[in-house]
Amino acid sequence: MADVIEVNCETGEVITRPQTAEEIAAQEAAAAQAEADRVAAEAAAQAKADAKAAAIAKLTALGLTADEVAALTA
């Protein structure tokens, strides 16, 4: 649990206080959402890579050369 530092810009007063339960819960929720977003992005990237590999395999099976496949997928 980290402390919160509040700075009053008008007076220059600096207050250090412990986080409230609500702040801790919000921080944990944000961290969980960030992890879920990362996992979803990783899964989407993997699905795209798998689809590209499948497309390349199909093009190769149709008789296209490596150069022709590279020209189509570049």
Can you give the residue ranges of every domain in the chain?
3-73
Q: What is the per-residue pLDDT for 1?
A: 67
pLDDT tens, N- to C-terminus, the chain (74 residues): 689 999 999 999 999 999 999 999 999 999 999 999 999 999 999 999 999 999 999 999 999 999 999 999 88
CB 58 within 8 A of CB 49: no
Q: What is the per-residue pLDDT for 9?
A: 96
pTM: 0.68
The residues near 3 (Cβ < 8 Å, ≥ 6 apart) are: 16, 17, 18, 19
Q: What is the per-residue pLDDT for 2?
A: 85
Q: What is the per-residue pLDDT for 22?
A: 96
- Report the alpha-carbon distance of residue 29 to residue 23 in Å, rounded: 10
